Structure 1
Amino acid sequence: MTLHTPLWMQVASGDTPVQYSAQDDRLLLTSLWQTEGVTAGGLQVSQRAAGANFSVDIAPGQAVITGDDMAGQGSYLVRSDAVENLPIPAPPASGSRTHRVVAQVRDKLYNGTWTGYDWALMVLEDTGSGTPPVPGSAYSLATVTVTAGDASVTNANILDTRFNALSQPGRARLTGSDAERPAVPLPFEEIARTDKGCTEIFIDGAWREVPRRDGGGSAWTSYTPALTATTTNPSLGVGSTRSGRYIREGRRVTVQVVCRFGSSGINVGSGFYEIALPVAARVTSPGRVTGTGYCYDDSGADYRDGGCFINTGVSDKVRISIDSVVVRNNAPFTWASNDEFGFTLVYEAAS
């Protein structure tokens, strides 16, 4: 075991200066960054700004790249201060090719392939065997797919593969709007929303707010619930509304729905009415998941409350029950203009 000299020791006058290796500095970067990636969204690959052709522009920026030619190599911080343009191979005679754009560290000390000590932006060509893998001590910035007949490379051909380099646990990155979120976030990446007073976590391809116990954050999400029936689907008519909203905290989902008939063109369908959930529920068997429901007869100004339930073995829809009768085309009364029904339900999501 070797006890390495701590960073950075300054010796007293007359003593021999302490020597540090570049590896010491790279291991410092490794201790500061949890993952490799770009910083502040830099090094984005896009179509040539001076006019689309078979080349791409790479924006200025920085990236943290893990050296993996040898064990203990550490992390490199690379930087570009100007737009770089790289040629893209012309499309094949038929089919398509997907090339990879990478930033690669070329450190001769750890890889004898290289002749110096630098880094480069380069295009790894798909010669017909598929997209090239990411080589050692390199980081993938994008893939570029060209197809026979393409006249140039545009942004539609480019798939961004960058992620933000995440620092070791600490304060989440401060973000003041949706537009300031990371362009390509990592799963479970966290940001702090200064405009909402909450944090957001990237889960299952979407940013999700984390609520505070004393309020703030976690706005409800709107959705339009599908309305069907067990025999013939109804049509609520002209001017009708189907509005829903929900909030999810972990696997707990709270949902509210209102369905209101229009003024004309109503078709009540036939069979029990079923309203779609915004998030699939955990299937229960036996037993039903229950909540509250209501109906309103506009012509008689008659409000009736009741319940709602997810049936045994069902995960995606709700039925409403009023006065022990499941709501259907002719119950609990004959549906007409401006009548409505709805429910509130709390349930466990399937995943």
Structure 2
Amino acid sequence: MALAVPRTWVVGETVTAAYMNAEIRNQWNDMIAGWTAYTPAWTGSTGNPSLGNGTIYGRSKAVGKKVTAVIELVMGTTTTFGSGYWQLSLPSTAANPAGTSGQFAYLGVARAHSATTWYTGVAAVTKNGSTLKIHEDSAAAEWSATRPHAWVGASTNYLHVQVDYEAA
């Protein structure tokens, strides 16, 4: 259920249980409802990676039109990493907010771990987009099979992303 626009009350109108449920209970239920699981698609701009025996998990929470998406990708021993920059799908399409310039309308955070090192990045969602890309903090380069490090198929290599955006 999504948050609804509150009704306009009329002088002398009788308040009923149905009105109270719609106006108060249902709105609160939407805000306190649990997260929704989804399986993100993991793609490459020129060649798709293969999850193999790795795992990918997504969950999202929408309150009104604001969506928070969290994705965790754990590499397996048979994971392959594709070619080109990576994209991860979102649970819903992002809006194209008025008054914004540039390609990206929404930014989030990403954190990756290799066997011994942590990396941070910026998750970018395009206007009207249904995927995100991750950029290195210190460069405009997108994350890929070789960025921010040379990924290997091992459970010590994983990626965690969180982004907030407005749903279309």
TM range (shorter): 0.7 to 0.9
The two structures, once aligned, show a CA RMSD in angstroms of 2.4
- In the TM superposition, residue 172 of structure 1 has moved relative to its aligned partner by 4.2
1:170 maps to 16
1:236 maps to 51
Percent sequence identity over matched residues? 26
Residue-by-residue CA offset, 1:162-202 (whole Å, 9 max, x unaligned): xxxxxx752249xxxxxxxxxxxxxxx849xxxxxx9347x
Residue-by-residue CA offset, 1:57-110 (whole Å, 9 max, x unaligned): xxxxxxxxxxxxxxxxxxxxxxxxxxxxxxxxxxxxxxxxxxxxxxxxxxxxxx
1:14-163 equivalences under 5 Å are: none
- 2:30 and 2:48 map into 1 onto residues whose CA distance is 38
Which amino acid is 1:348 matched to? E
2:4 maps to none
- In the TM superposition, residue 334 of structure 1 has moved relative to its aligned partner by 1.1
**What secondary structure sits across from 2:164 in the alignment?**
strand
1:334-345 equivalences under 5 Å are: 334-336=150-152, 337-338=154-155, 339-345=157-163
Q: TM-score, normalised by structure 1?
A: 0.38
**Alpha carbons of structure 1 residues 279 and 169: separation in structure 2 relative to 1, 3 Å:** farther
Q: Which runs of 5+ in 2 are unaligned?
A: 1-13
Structure 1 residue ranges (4+ consecutive) displaced by more than 2 angstroms after TM superposition: 168-173, 198-201, 208-211, 283-287, 322-325
2:25 maps to 199
1:328 maps to 144
- In the TM superposition, residue 322 of structure 1 has moved relative to its aligned partner by 2.5
1:294 maps to 111
**Alpha carbons of structure 1 residues 209 and 241: separation in structure 2 relative to 1, 3 Å:** farther
Q: Is the 8 A contact 1:237 1:262 kept in 2?
A: yes
1:270 maps to 83
Choose which of 194, 202, 210 in structure 1 pairs with 2:30: 210
- 1:172 and 1:340 map into 2 onto residues whose CA distance is 48
Q: TM-score, normalised by structure 2?
A: 0.76
- 1:169 and 1:257 map into 2 onto residues whose CA distance is 43
Query: Which is greater in Rg?
Result: 1
- 2:142 and 2:15 map into 1 onto residues whose CA distance is 52
- 2:64 and 2:36 map into 1 onto residues whose CA distance is 15
**What secondary structure sits across from 2:17 in the alignment?**
coil
| Relative contact order higher in (CA < 8 Å, ≥ 6 apart) | 2
Greater helix percent: which structure? Answer: 2
